[in-house]
Amino acid sequence: SFLGFDDCILYVACFDANGGLFEPLFGPEDAIISDSLNHASIIDGIRLCKAKRYRYQHSNMEDLEKCLQQADSDSANHKVIVSDGVFSMDGTYAKLDKIVELAEKYDALIMLDDCHATGFVGENGRGTAEHFGLEGKVDILTSTLGKALGGASGGFVCAKENVIKLLKQRSRPYLFSNALSPSIVSASLKALEIIKDEPERRERIKENTIYFRDSMKSLGFKIKGDMHPITPVMLGDAKKAQEMSKKLLEEGLYAIGFFYPVVPKGEARIRLQITSEHTKQQLEQAIKIFGKVGRELKVI
C-alpha cells in the first residue's frame, strides 16, 4: 500500500525477484524492450524467458521508440518497457516521463526496478514514479528491502493482484527457495515506519548529497549522475581506480573502485553512496582525504 499497488510478493533478494519475473509472465509472442544499462539481474531474468528481446541505447528515447515500432512490426502480442528507476552505477534517473508517453502511445506495459530509489526518492520516499509525479503509471515494480528499507536483504514485486497470483504459482525463485527471514521482514516494517514518520531523514540525505557532490566538483573531480546519493567519481582508467581505492583505505576511507566489466571500458570510477546519517564532519573528512589522494595521483 505504501507504493500504491494492489499486491506484492516477497523474495530473498531483488536479484531473485527480477530473475523470477519475466519467464512466468511473458511468452514467445511477447516483446521485452530493455535499457542497455539495466541491472544484471534484469538481464539474467530476461534471458530466462522466451519473449522477443529488444535493447535500446541507454536512456535514448528515439531508440526506444524504434524498438517499440519494431516490436509492432514483429506482431508482438504484449510489449513491456523495462528499466531501472535509478541506474546503480551512474546515479542517474530513467526518463520515466518520456517512457510513460511512449508506453501510452504504443500500448506497452512498464516494468521498473526501483532498488535505488525506494524509501528516500520522492516527497514521501515512494521512489522514481513519485519523483516524476507519475504514481500509478508503472505496471510492475521490483525493489529491495536491502537498502533504504532496512539494509539487510529481501526483494519484492508489486503489481496488480492477478499478476502477483500468477507469480506465486509459477515464479521459480519464489517456489523453490527459502522464505524471507521473519527478522528481516520485521526490520523492514520498522524502516517503513521511520520513512513515514521521519521525513527529516530525506531532507538530510538531500542536503548531504548536494554538499558532497558540489564540494567534490569544486576540488576538480569529475562527478557523474543526477543529484542522487549514488556519487560516481569518474577516473576512466581501471588501474587508477584500483590504486585510488587502495590509497583512500590507507587514509581511513573505504571506497570501492569499479571498472570493466562492471562498467563500460574507459569508465572506471570510485562509486560512493551518501546517507542521511553521515555527519557534516564525516563528509568534510572524506572530501579532505579525496583531495589529498587525488592530488597525489594527479587526478585533480
The answer to whether 116 is a known catalytic residue is: yes
C-alpha 267, offset from chain centre? 19
**Interatomic CA distance for residues 101 and 108, integer angstroms:** 10
Catalytic residue among 79, 131, 147, 278: 147
Residue 261 burial class via C-beta count within 10 angstroms: exposed 0-12, middle 13-18, buried 19 and up? exposed
Task: Enter the C-alpha cell of residue 58.
Answer: 541507454
Task: Enter the C-alpha cell of residue 103.
Answer: 508506453
- Helices 61-73, 96-105: inter-axial angle, 10-degree rounding: 20
Task: List all residues 6 or more positions away from 200 whose beta carbon is below 8 Å from its beta carbon.
Answer: none
Whether 237 and 257 have beta carbons less than 8 Å apart is answered as no
Catalytic residue among 59, 83, 88, 171: 88
Catalytic residue among 39, 79, 116, 240: 116
The answer to whether 147 is a known catalytic residue is: yes
Catalytic residue annotation: 88, 116, 147
